Structure 1
Amino acid sequence: MGPLNRSRTIATTVVLVCVLGVVMFCHFEAWKHHEIEIEEPQTLEIQPGDNFADIASKLRSQGIIQNVGYFELLARMANSTGSIQAGEYSFSGTYTPETVLQNIVRGNVVTRTLTLPEGGSFTEFLNILESVAKMDFDLKNRSVETALAGLKVEQTWTQIPSNHGEGWFFPDTYQYTTSMRASEVLSIAHRKMLDELREVWLQRDPATPLSTPYELLILASIIEKESGVIEDQKQISGVFSRRLSKRMRLQADPTIIYGLGDAFDGNLTRAHLNMDHPYNTYRNYGLPPTPIAAPSRAALQAAANPAPGDALYFVARGDGTSEFSATLEEHNRAVRKYQLNQND
């Protein structure tokens, strides 16, 4: 082959390579922006440590992308192969390969919700966390002390004992992902309770008989268990605050029930009121040693700002509300009316 023919061959090869490159580039660009309709929702689980090739293969096998090689090229061009976020992803509707990559790089993972109920106990909260779908329950078989120690809770400001879980966690609805652990949710709930408690404590009535935020938390937990009606909570707080100021026993049934624990069968008896334990506010003066439940913000606010008045007693009416009385005689009449169904 002469020099001229070799030059023509090289030129032809260069042209063909350029044409092929242009064709491949155009094809890649068209693929990158090509919309794929995903009719049935597809769930993709990316575990920590999964390599990009495996992730791309999962996407291809589920019909979310159509070309593994192009998808890897797209990720390399975006310098994203090492930036994929672990978690659970859901794909449905219309996607392009580019938006699929953006989703797993940005960590647009599926979020679920769980609710820690107002008035719930620490044990109830743990049971809820253990029962929710797709969460690493990392608190199993741990003592209260061990579980709380692992949460890195703040103890200096609130002076909360490290061996008691009640009142630490704010009852609310929380979002979580499959990459979260149960202890992380509890840590969020703990920080939220501290934030709420700080704010409410700073807005408290200066005349309150409570001397610390923790005492406010204890009283709020009792109020929460006495009633879920906000207006009644304020009145109940007034009753308890006046009784504390007058050195009267609180005589709060929920504290007795809490102290009985699993021994309580739903029937509170006179014998229970005479039992000697730290939560018996029929025998002991002042507040019990710890909260008895997780109070809502409304209960915290009620404890910090009790309603004015002269009531020292209250009794449940049976419809969710309470009847308040200033004297024992009035209270006994209310008890006969609402508890014993006897009218004078």
Structure 2
Amino acid sequence: MDRTQQLLAAVLLGVIILWICEPVPIPVGGLLGVAGVVILGVAPAGEVLAPFGSTTIFTFIGAFILAQAMLKHGIAQRLAFAVLSIPGVAGSTYRVIVAFGFITCLLSAFVSNTATVALLMPTALGILAVIAQLMQDRGVVRADFDPLRLRVGAALMLMLAYGASVGGLLTPVGSPPNLIGRGLIEEATGVRISFAQWTAVAAPLCLAMFVVLALIMFLLNKPEVRQIEGVEEYIRGQRSAQGRMSRAEVNTLVAFGFTVSLWLLPAVVSLIAGTDAGLYLFLDDRLDDGIVAVLGASLLFILPTNWKERRATLTWSDAA
């Protein structure tokens, strides 16, 4: 048997062991087997994933599973309160609205736009309630007013909606049309567009769109008050209630960081060693975006939250 046959036999044996012993869910064992074939260089990703349609399908699978873990374990709320607790942010309605837009953009670059807004909406409404109470105490509004009818409320809610659309363009996995469009471009031109290349092109566009969005938002919905009090205490209380990061949250961040790092690794190597370097060509060939996404998602079924009970960060019912 030549080396390629030996590697393929080893992957097949490994998958059979995973299926029989079930240390991970059976579908995850199959996904790991497909990823192993590409990572070990048995065959290129395009050939290996051809029966599934394209590598885009695997990118969808991995990215959606990672996003589900972030939703389930509350990573979005923790990130939101971390940004809002930066000194000086919570003291101004303008800075709070811009901060919420930034958080939404960042999250929607990796999680679906709808899910991002749904996650951050309760936090935004809680802060809006604090602002509304402050305005009522100052006599700026009537006692029977509706907080959602305020200009500051409109600006905050619309910033969530539009911010998610802006951030969804930043990465290939930010929105399903990105992956579909990238696949069509690659099919038509024969040129592969990496995760880092897409992000590098989209980042200036997203930044310009966000600046214009903020300016228009404040022109159309100028907040009734500029300086606010009480929001910092509210955020401090919410962060205290969250407590320390749970094992599941840490595991999710590890899997997410692992995935993004591998997505960007070929681009980093190309900047240091050049696109003709052997290491870059090796990584570019093996680290297909779909394969990396599946590998990162698989970590969620391996990293435990309770080792004695053999409970992993995510279950297959969560992922399905």
TM range, smaller chain = under 0.3
Where is the helix percentage greater, Structure 1 or Structure 2? 2
User: Which of the pair has more CA radius of gyration?
Assistant: 1
TM-score (norm 1): 0.18
Indicate the structure with greater strand content: 1
